[in-house]
Amino acid sequence: MIKRSKNLPAEERRAVTVEAVVALAAEQNPSDITTAAIAKRMGLTQGALFRHFPNKDAILLAVMEWVADRLLARVDKALQTATSPLAALEAMFMAHVDFVLEHPGVPRMLFGELQRAEETAPKRMVQTLIHRYGERLQRLLEEGKRAGELDADLDIEAAVILFIGTIQGLVMQSLLAGDIGHLGNDAPKVFTIYKRGIRRVQ
């Protein structure tokens, strides 16, 4: 149970709620998480929870906003330390992997939202995250071509799709194996293969 969730200011209560949902998503199917389970994890009543969120979708939207802010901030911080576009791509890849290792419930929630047939605010937030993430990748790949590090004929759009798809594939295989730790072991080796496919041949 998450401690110190009673008598918190509104913003802190919302943050603790998000943390509770992310923790629950690492333990069970995100679609099965109920507001009762969230309140129980926080040591609250459902009534207390609904004083801060009108419904479950509002909670999920807050979670998706938290994920977008934290993941993009983690990626941007990693990019600042890179010495070249290619090094920045690797830093971005590994920063994303590290984020998933720290929050294994997040990809399960993202996949779950994208599979929903209806158009919802949380689903739109996930789509926005992917778009913003892709824009960062596109800029990096274009910089890499200009710097002569990447193949001059590289298809930028395809390289963006493959980068994101590679991480998604690694995550999916780790989830299927029931051991998210596989992700950390496999990611550097897989990125090496990706890098060989996009870099300029000397």
pLDDT digits (tens, 9 = 90+) for 48-102: 888 889 998 899 999 999 999 999 999 999 999 899 999 999 999 999 999 999 9
pLDDT confidence of 3, banded at 50, 70, 90?
very low
Determine how many CB atoms are found less than 10 A away from the CB of residue 202: 3
Classify residue 92 by burial, with Cβ atoms within 10 Å: 0-12, 13-18, 19+: buried
**Which residues form the domain of 31?**
1-53
Q: Domain containing 167 — which CATH number?
A: 1.10.357.10
Instruction: Say if residues 187 and 170 touch (Cβ distance below 8 Å).
Output: yes
DSSP 120: -
pLDDT given at position 1: 44
Same domain, 186 and 139: yes
pLDDT tens digits, one per residue of 98-134: 999 999 999 888 888 888 888 888 888 889 999 999 9
Q: Are residue 65 and residue 109 in the same domain, yes or no?
A: yes
Pair (160, 128) in one structural domain: yes
**Per-residue pLDDT band at 198 (split at 50, 70, 90):** very high
Residues 99 and 5 in one domain: no
Q: Each residue of 182-195: pLDDT tens digit?
A: 899 999 999 999 99
Query: Is this structure's pTM higher than 0.75?
Result: yes
Q: Domain check: are 19 and 3 in the same one? A: yes
Q: Are residues 33 and 113 in the same domain?
A: no
pLDDT of residue 118: 86
pLDDT band at 170 (very low <50, low <70, confident <90, very high): very high
Q: If 0-12 CB within 10 Å is exposed, 13-18 middle and 19+ buried, where does residue 34 land?
A: exposed
Domain match, 143 and 112 both: yes
CA distances from 154 to 48, 50, 115, 141, 195 (A): 54, 50, 31, 9, 12
Residues 39 and 100 in one domain: no
Same domain, 27 and 122: no
Looking at the structure of the chain, the number of domains it has is 2
